Structures are given as C-alpha cells and as structure tokens.
Amino acid sequence: MSESTSFVGLFLGFLLSATGVHASCPIELSPPTVVVRYGDSVSVNCSTSESLFNGMGWEASEGGTGVQQVSHLAWTVASLTDWTASPSCFINPAPGSHFGQCLQNPTVVLYTFPETISIRSSGGAGGVMNEGETYNFTCAIHDIAPVQNLSVLWYKGDAMVFEDTFDNPSKTPVNHSSSWSVTPTRQDNGVTFRCEAHLDLMPEGPQFKASSQEFQITVHFGPDVQCISLDILELREGETLESVCHVTGRPSPDVSWLKGDRPTDPDVPLSRSDAGRYTINAAGATIIRKELSVHVLYGPEVKCPDTHTAVEDAPHNLSCVVKGFPKPEVTWYKDGEEVELPESLTRDDTGQYWINASSTLSSVNHTLDINVIYPPSQIVELEDSEVDVGSTVWLKCSSTGNPRPQYSWDYYQTTNVMVQNEDGVSRLQIHNATAYNTGSYTCHASNDRGNVSETARVTVKGASPECPIKITPDRMVVPYKGRGLQRAICTPTPSDATHLRDIYWQVGQGARTNDTTWVTYASEDWDLKPVCTATFNVTGPCQKHLNFTLYKTPDSVSIRPVDNLSSAVEEREFQLRCDVTSVAPAGSVAVRWYRGNETFEPLSKGPLRVTGCLPENDTKCDPSVVRSALNVSSTISVTLNRNDTGAEFRCEAQLDLGPAGPLPPPKMMSSPLNVTVYYKPVINTTKLPKAIPVFRGYPEELVCEADGNPPPKIQWLYSPDKVPHVSGDTLTVSEPGVYSCNATNEVDSIYHEVNVILKGQPVSSSCPIQMSPPSVVVRFGDSFSVNCSSSSDQIKSMGLETTYGSAQTTGLSYVNITIESAKDWNIGVLCYINLVDDSQCLETLPVTVYKTPDRVSIPQLSLEGPLVEGDQYSIQCDIVNVAPVSILSVLWHKGDTISFTERFDGSSASPVNVTSVFNLTAQRGDDGTQIWCEAQLDVRGQVPNLIKSESRDVIVLYSPTFMEPKNVTLELPARGKFTLDCAAAGKPTPVYSWQFPHSIQRTNRNENQSSLAPSIQLPGTYRCTASNSQGSKAKYFTVTEATKLPSLFKLEFSLSLALLHRRLSAVNNMGINFLKWILTLCMFHLVSGEGCSLILKPSRVVVGFGEPVSVSCEAARPVRVLGWESAISAAHTQQELSVQWKVDSLIDWIEEPICYGVFFTAPRQCEEKLNLVLYKTPDSVSIRPVNHTGPMVEGKEYQLLCEVQNIAPVQYLTLRWYKGQTEVYNHSFAELTSSSPVQVSSVLMVTPTKAENGAQYRCVAELELGPEGPRPPPTVTSEPLNASVYFPPTFLSPEPEVLDLVVGAEMTLNCTATGNPTPVYSWQSSNPNEERMEDEAALTSPSLLPGTYTCTASNALEKKSKQFVVKAKTKGK
C-alpha cells in the first residue's frame, strides 16, 4: 500500500473513530510493551479475532509490512537502532464491519548501560582533606539511556548515605553525572566512598548495576591542646602534664614543655615541689604556644597522737598538725557532735574524738582518745529496800571516776548474798530473802585520787527461815489395812540442833506424839496427813509434812466388749473395756493389754476414767486427785481379722508406786475374753470355675462351697426355664446356661456365676466318674497321684491321660496314675470311661502348680531421697518368678500396720515377674517409719508362704508449722519489754526472718531467731517468716499503744526513719530514750491522718525474662519525696507527683519493688508493693519411663516421668498429659512458692492394654499467668513417647475341643492365638505312634490318630495351651 493510500486509510479510521462509528479497535498486541538493548532484535505480534475485515499491517520507521489479508502479523526488526521507534499496527474494515479503521501502538523502550562508572573529588591529591571544610564528590556515567530510569546511590563505607534520581525525558543516550557534598571530621579518617548506578527497567525489562572504585580519604586536624583554655592547670600529686594536658593532631604534632627556661619531661609524675610557671609549644598543621601556672594538689595529712591523758581542770598541752593543698578544713567531733577542744579539760571531755581534715581532693580522719582522770563521785542509786520473804532484791552502787572506782561492801554475811561488779557498777543480790538478810549494807567506792561510801537498809517482811528439820524416810507407802509397822523419824538439822526447844508429831486434829518417831499400823484413813512440828529458840515453831501414800490393790480386774457386743466384724473397729474395781491411788494404775500371752498396742487408747463419772462436771472424777479407792476403767479400739476368732484377750492392772512402793509393783490380770470374729463369705472358685463343659447325657454337679462366719447360706439362682436338681450347696445341671451361686451371712452377700457349655453327642445317662483327690495343688517339681473310679457296672474300659503319659484298664472300675515330678505349669489330667453300650464320657481334674518367688524387693530408686509432705509417691515391690499369679497377694507394711493389700487376677499358670505399687501420700507422721512388702501364696490347706522384702526408711520433708499458729495482738507495756515467740516445727529445721514496722529497728542480731525482743520497742505490725526448702509461713504480731496521746501532742515529723537510724549510733542513752518517745508520738500521728494515696499503673505486671518493663507510681496529694525501693533501677523524685520504675531488660529474680511516699500531711509515710510476675518458659520438656526400658507389658503398672527444666514462676505451671489427642491427666504446682527458675516433674501412672500398643504419650507445660499475661498462654510440648505393649497369647477359641475322627477324612485343629511378640506354636500328641507335627497355628492332616493333642502358643511373656480330643467314631454313630 502506497503512503498516500495508507494516510487516507488512517485518516478515515480516525474520522470514523471520532464520530463514534465503532466502540473499540479489535486488535491485540503481544507483548504490549518491549524493552530492547540497543542493536538487539525485537518482535511484536499483532492479531485480531474479527473475521470480517479488509487486511491489517504495520507502520514503522523500521520493519513496516504494508496491508496483508491475515488475522495475525508480527513486527520484527533484526537490530533495533532507532531511539525514537514507535511502530503502529492498523486494521481496515470491510463493508458490513461494525468497526472502522483503527490502530494500536506497542511501547518500545530502547536502552544502553555503561560497563563502568567513575568517581572523583574536589579535594587535594591522595584524598587529603582538612577537618571542617566542604568537598564535592562527582560520579560520572557515560552513554546511558533512558536516563529517567537511572538512580545513583552514594555509599560511605558499607552504609548508603544518599540517593540521586533524574527526570530527564530524553530517550537518546546521554553522559550524566551525580554530585554529593561532604564535610569530614577526624573520625572520618580512612573512610572510603563510592557510587553505584542503577538502571531499573522492571517489570518488562531487566535491572542493571555498576559500581565505581572506592575513594579513601585522609583527614588532617589540629594540633588540639587539651588545656588551651586554662590559665591555671591543677593536677594531683603523682599525675603527669601529659595526662592532664594531652595534645592531639594529624599529622602528629611536635610538643615541648618548659618550666621557666628549662625543658621538662611531660611524662614524669609531678610532686608538690614542682608547682610553678610552665610553657607548652605544639607544632603540627599549625603552631600553638600557651603559658600557664601549674598547681600540684595533694590531700590533707594529719599528724596527731592516738591517745592523750590529762588531769581534770589543767591545761592539756595537746599538739596536732594538719597539712594539704588546697588548705584543708579541720573539724573536731565527739559523740557525733562538732566540738572545739578547750584549753583545760573536765571529766565530761573524756572520750573518743574524731578529727576530720577535708579539702576538695579528699578527706582524712584521725581518731584520738582523750582520758581525763578524776576522783570518784558521790555514790548514787543505792536506796533502802523493803521486800517480801523469799523474793530477790538488788542493791545497786554506782560512782563515776577515772580510773574506774573499785567497790567493796559491809553487811551481815549469809550464803544467799552475791556481789557482782560489772561495767563500773556494783550490784549486791539477795536471793530468796530470809529474816537473816534484814540489816544495813554499806558500799565503798575508791580509786587513786580518793574514795566515797554510802549505806542502805534492807527490811524483809514476813521473814521466817526454812524449817530446819529432816524426816526419814521422806516418803512412806503403806498398804491399806497392812499389818506391818512403819516408822518415820523427825530430827533437827545438825546446825540447828542446839537451838531446838521442842519437837513432836501430830496427825490431823488428833493428839500429839511427843517423840521424834511416828508409827503407823493397819491404817484405814485415806486422808492421813502426818506433820512433824519443831520449836527453835531463835525462829520459833515450824513444821514439815510426811509424804504419805496409802494404797490398795484392786478387788477385781475384768474385761468385756463395749456395748456388750457378742462378736466383732472383720476389719471393723471393735472396742474393749477393762474394769478395775476398788483400787487406790487410782492415778498410779497402768493397764496393759494381751492377745494370748503377748502384749499388743491398740489402734487407739482412751484415758483412765472413774466409772460412772463425768470428769468435766466433778473434780472428784480425776483419778490423779482422789486418794481413796475408786472403780476405774480403760477403753481401747482394735481391728480384728478372721484369724482372731477364738483368741483370748486379757487386761492387766498394775500399781506403779515408785521406788518407795512395793517391788515388783502389785498387778492383777483379768479372766480371758474369747472373741468371735464375723467375716463376709468367700466362695471357693477352685472347685467352681467360671466355665464348665457338660457333655450331653452326662449331668455335671456344681458344688458351691463358701467360707464365712456365721456360716453363709448357699442359694443357686438361674433362669426359670432351667430344671436342675438342687441338693443343699450342690446343683446338678445338664443344660447350658448361666448359673449364679449366692453366699449370704450377717456380714455381706457375694455371688459367683458359672457358664455351663454343652458339649458332645447325646448319651443315655450321666458320667459315673469320681476323681480322688477332686483337685490337686502341688509345688513345682513335687509328685502327686490321682485315682479315677466309677460305681457303674457297665464298664468296658477306663483310662487316665496326662501331660506325662497315660494309664488304661479293661474290665476294672478304677485306674491310677502317679506323676513323679510336676515340671509343667499346665498339667492336663483327663479320666474317661467306655461303657458297654459303646458310649463314652470323661472328667478333667483341676491341677494347680505353684512356685514361691525367688526374690521380693523394693528397688532403691522406688523410695530414693526424702519425701515431701502432701505429695503422692508410688513405691514399687518386685516379685520375681512366682506362679501362679492368681493366688498371690502382696501385703504392704508401714510401721506395725498393714496399710495395703493387693491381689492379682492374672490367668498365667507359669512363673511371671509381677510388680505391686503402693501409692503413699507422704505425711509428717510417716517420718522415721519403715516400709516393707510381703508376698503371700494362698495355698489351700497349707500354711501361707510368706516372703518379706528388705525394709526402707522413710524421711518426710514438710513445711514449717507454728507451735502457736494464731496471730497475736498485744499492748505495748508502759515500762517493760515484750518478746515475740515464732517457734515452728518443720523438716529441714526452719530458718527465721523478721520484718519490722520501722527501719531503725533492723539489726543483724534479729536474723534467724525464733523469738524476738526488739532493742527499740515500738508499736506496729511485726511479721515473722519461718522458711525451709518446703515453703514459708508467716505469723503477724500486732503491738498497739496502751493509751492514745491527746491531739495536742501531734508532731510534725519531717525526718525520715532512715536518717534517725543512721544517727542512733552517735547518741547517748538519754538520746535513745528521747527518740523512742518521739517515734511513738509520730507513729500515733501516722495512723491518725487520711489514707495513703499512692496509685500504681499498672498494679500488676507480667513480664518475660529479658523483656523491658515500666511501671508508674503516682501520688494523689502533695508529696515531699516519692520513690521506688528496688534491688535494681531504684529511683526517687522531690518535685514530681509521679516516678517511674523502668528496666530495659529484666533478668534478675528480685522481690517485688515497693513505691514509697513521704508526704507533707498525715499519714506522713506509706508504701505500695508492685505485684510483679517475672516468667520464663522452660528450656526443655521431656518425657521418659521410670526404671524401665523397652516395651511395656499388658496389665502391669508403669510410671511415665515428665521433666521440665528451668521454668518460673512454677506456681502458674500446669503440666497436661495426653494420650494421642486426649488429655488424660493434669498436674498443677500452685502449692510451690519459688519465683526463680526451678526444675519440676510429674508422674503419670499407666496400666497399658493390648489396644494401646502404638499409642503416643506427650506432656505439655502451660504457663497460665492471668489476664495480664500473654494470650494464648505460653506452652512447650515434649517429644512424643511411642508405647509398645507386649501381651501374652490369647486363643481365638480357648475352650478344649472334642472332635470325631472319620477315617481318611482331612481334619483341621485350629490353635490360632494373638499376642505381642507374635506367638510361636508347638504340638504334642498322647499317641506315641503319631508322626512329627509341624509347628504351625493350624494342624491339618488326613492321617491323625485318636488321642489328646496339646497345642502350646508361647511368646516372651507366657505359654498357653489348648487341648483337642480326637475320638474314633464308634459304631452306630
């Protein structure tokens, strides 16, 4: 198409488009945009979906096509070099087209990018720049297009510092540059700069990047003289000029120092003599000269003696010299107060002085002891005393003098007077004052410079000396109506015998006996009280009582049940009472209890009581008070078992009258009491198994025997459609079904179900076979014999078949067999009879082979280490190689009692290893006891076989418990002292800490003491905490003021308690008492104002270990000081109404911070404690079996242990146990109190079944930290533990099978069993002619012989056998 035609077509298309002839151009470009490197090829496809059009074509400066009658057409250029290329694809309509001529233009981007770019600087050669000057960097990019897609990135080292972009619309290549300015500092020395050019043609095109070479700079500066701005340079003695006036620069400057005109080394330490005028010269990039004065500073120095002695009121002649530069300030202190030392000293100037010399450099102290000597002062504190007899009195003699006075006393010497000289005071103590202590007491005080004395008088009121007589014997014990003579002799003491005027005996109001001897004979007076009276010349009359006891042995001792019960019930509490008639003194009676001839301790034992008397209503009911004969009784509680039936119980009363009484002590025994013990029925399941086969025509007798007391009543229950024959406890059945035997007595009722299974072909009558014995219980390896007989007269032959062989008779009514050694755990014994009518029947004999265990033990790990009170522990008892498990019982002993008995229901006849687990919840009462286990085989008719394990000692840790648990409130004594008792019991032994209401009371002496007597006794709440490894308990003591002070005495208390505490050590005793008074008033004022107004935002914080935390404390009223008390990040303010506690990374397990406020108005001080929870998720959570490796065994109990490492706080932890996706147990640790990371564990008890083989167990540690904590709560899950469960073989059809043999027919005996590990099989035949059989689950053969075939399925756990009886098919059958 010519250019004119093309133009006309395009013009018409445009005109049609402008007038709206068609809606859109039916052209599609692919791709619509192309990005092409200069000189590369390019191709764009133009297509249409229209069928009615008149050709299409491309218009372009390169690659135009003209009009072609095609539906798609490509624009292709082999080498595109036109920077302004803009091709157009057009389409011409045909008559009838719905569109006019139109065109589409693809976007064409032609680019070029340089391989290298360059960087240059406006600085000097070699990259040298001066600090603080500005330099320009230029990045040159040559031959780049299109420039609007270009960006230049500037880098300083590896960091991008600037990006330059361009909006130049030129499509043709240009040479372009980017500029960037920099002002270097000395820190930029050695830094490299570079630029990068990026051409971004995305998304249709590529991205290009080019980098310049690196440009390194060197920065010159200085010289900088550190002390350039000073005229006076001060440095400490020993420092150098270089250290305090350092010179730096690049290039490195040349530095010199002059003192006056002499050069000096700036690196030599200066002394105080080196002070003077100095000049410094520094030459580098520039030259600097500086003159300055150098002062050498040194700290205060004090030269003064350590001690000085002076005479009172004379010049002291003391010389002390102080040096230093700058000149120190000198201050003298005595007892914490600043003083000036006078020229003449008095006794009040004696003491220790503290000389402080301080300057801006440092402060030094010197201690000087001044001793002023003077004579003793007048004696004080010695006063007359009037005291009661028997009391203790102190006389105090006090004088001051230097040297300290020596004391002596003048008084009437007695043995109960003692003198103590201590701390310059003499104290005379009269202990247990008597009349001999009345009189004058003179105290003398003296030293080298003089002496003084003072006298006081002591008067003892009501004084009389102890009666100086002796009674021999001092105690007399006499039998009631005793015939022997008893004498008591009364004599004066040797030292008082010369003063004796008269001596005699008197009993009650009776006549006196003027003799030193008193005689008693056949005494019947219960209130007899002999008294010896003596009169002395000095002290007058006095008397002593003889300790006299009249005793009577009991008239009778008897025993009976409480409530007159005639019998006891097994395992229930039973009470016995011992009655002692007419005995005196009843308080000396001890009752012992006997079972047979052995004494025993009952479960509980009541106190000795007076018969028919209520002690709470009458003091005469107290056996320890009444002297006359009484009827008393003692009651005990016991728990009996069936073995105690017929046992004889007795009680014995013994009078313990001490060494003065008869020896041996008199005793009396009761007559025996026989006790009948009732117990619930137990059915003998050995004779009555759960399943019994009955052959047709052979009725079976079901014998239900039950043991019990009273003897149980037997009743058979069955469905009404059955018609068995009942005879007492025997049921004769011939029909299949379920028959229930019920055994009932007064104690309980039990039942046992028997499933009767019908076997065999119909026969005419029951099987007339009797087995003797009816069942066999034999020890493994022992022998036994069996007799099988019949009363029938229709016998053709009889036989016995066993695992060890067979026996057969013909025409006889019996057959015998003996097993020499029972060495199989499943011994089959079968007796059969062939009758003359060719019918057959058989009976099987129950055989139990038993073996006592090889070993019974409690593993050390089962009870390792101390237990914790309240925790449950599983203690394991291992019984090794015992059979059969069905008759095994394990008895657990704790101390002298059986705490738990476990019986086993396993079906295995062969020896197994079993484990019994005793779950013990530790209690503090268990501490010090012993635990052991016993294995018992219940072999009927024989003595039980008991094998005992070793015993294990139990140690129980428990948290502290206060001896007096209640909190205490007491009044502050007016002038006395109080003591707070916080004694607690615990294991380990508790340690104690005290919290005081006032900080000035805190001293190290209060640490780890169970009782507290504060040196400064103030009202408030005192908290005692008793702690050990198991926990902490707090007890509060509230000390209140006895009376309130009037409001007139309220004080403004502006000093903080902490300041007072620092000052206490510097005040005398009078000052301490004054401070006590001040603090008491102030504490009253603290509690009488408005409430404390501190607000914590937030009030509770939960923060992860290592995370930041911030809490604000705000005061709601004006505050003097507001602050945080904390081990870290403590803060305070004196201006603001809020203060913040902030930690960037909390990694310390601290106590909760406390916000405190000191206010202008009452209450002056208060505090708020932040509820802070610092948590840490565990390092690991793991799960493993305890004391076990490998697969588990079905029915055996195992422990799975979940261990959690380093978690805090543990009280928020819940451990969840999962089996598969099901939660089976959870364990919380709320009782623990540790806030720092700990290691904890949880035990899951599992008893796996075969269905759980392959199950997965896992445990999940979850921290539930409350609403302020993270959501969802943090969890850490253990790796899963896969359970592999072993279980013994189980036959698909376990019952014996009887099969008829058809000659030549193939027969299958199916012995398939399930088990883990997979069972292996073995076959045995009673027929010696049988060929060897394959060890397979199913035995299939056309040539089996009649006889008994035994299949044994075995795996690592157990062997099980099944019998197949193959009978030859008889005639007529």
Question: Tens of pLDDT along 990-1007?
Answer: 999 888 776 545 554 456
Alpha-carbon distance of 1369 to 513, in angstroms, equals 119
| 8 Å CB contact between 870 and 1231 | yes
Q: How confident is the model at residue 1262 (pLDDT cuts 50, 70, 90)?
A: very high
Q: What is the pLDDT of residue 393?
A: 92
Q: pTM for this one?
A: 0.32
Q: What is the pLDDT of residue 1034?
A: 83
Cβ within 8 Å of residue 801, ≥6 positions away: 828, 829, 830, 832, 1326, 1347, 1348
Q: How confident is the model at residue 619 (pLDDT cuts 50, 70, 90)?
A: low
Helix (H) or strand (E) holding 492: strand 486-492
Alpha-carbon distance of 947 to 935, in angstroms, equals 5
Residue 182 has pLDDT above 60, yes or no: yes
Residue 644 has pLDDT above 90, yes or no: no
- pLDDT digits over 595-614, tens only? 888 888 887 777 888 887 76
Residue 242 has pLDDT above 50, yes or no: yes
Q: What is the pLDDT of residue 1159?
A: 84
Q: What is the pLDDT of residue 1021?
A: 79
- pLDDT digits over 270-322, tens only? 998 889 999 999 988 788 888 999 999 999 999 999 999 888 888 888 888 89
Identify each DSSP E strand in 640-793 by its residue range.
648-655, 667-669, 673-674, 676-683, 691-695, 700-703, 706-709, 713-717, 725-727, 730-733, 737-744, 749-759, 770-772, 776-779, 784-789
Q: How confident is the model at residue 1046 (pLDDT cuts 50, 70, 90)?
A: very low
Q: What is the pLDDT of residue 7?
A: 41
Q: Give the amino acid at 413.
A: Q
Q: What is the pLDDT of residue 642?
A: 86
Alpha-carbon distance of 288 to 303, in angstroms, equals 45
SS3 content of the chain, % helix, strand, coil (to 5): 10, 50, 40
- pLDDT digits over 796-812, tens only? 888 888 878 888 888 88
Mean pLDDT of the chain: 84
Residue 1342 has pLDDT above 70, yes or no: yes
Q: What number is the average pLDDT over the span 1205-1231? A: 91
Helix (H) or strand (E) holding 55: strand 53-59
Q: What is the pLDDT of residue 112?
A: 93
For the beta carbon of residue 657, count every other beta carbon within 10 angstroms: 17
Q: What is the pLDDT of residue 615?
A: 56
**Lowest mean per-residue pLDDT among 137-141, 1077-1081, 1142-1146:** 1077-1081
Tell me how far CA of residue 1241 lies from CA of 163, 871, 1094, 1177, 1202, in angstroms: 59, 12, 41, 15, 5
Alpha-carbon distance of 1281 to 894, in angstroms, equals 35
Q: What is the pLDDT of residue 618?
A: 62
**Lowest mean per-residue pLDDT among 334-338, 369-373, 724-728, 973-977:** 973-977
Radius of gyration of the chain (CA): 57
| 8 Å CB contact between 384 and 457 | yes
Alpha-carbon distance of 600 to 603, in angstroms, equals 10
Q: How confident is the model at residue 737 (pLDDT cuts 50, 70, 90)?
A: confident
| 8 Å CB contact between 1095 and 1114 | yes
- Which residues is 610 bridged to in the sheet? 632
Q: What number is the average pLDDT over the span 1260-1288? A: 92
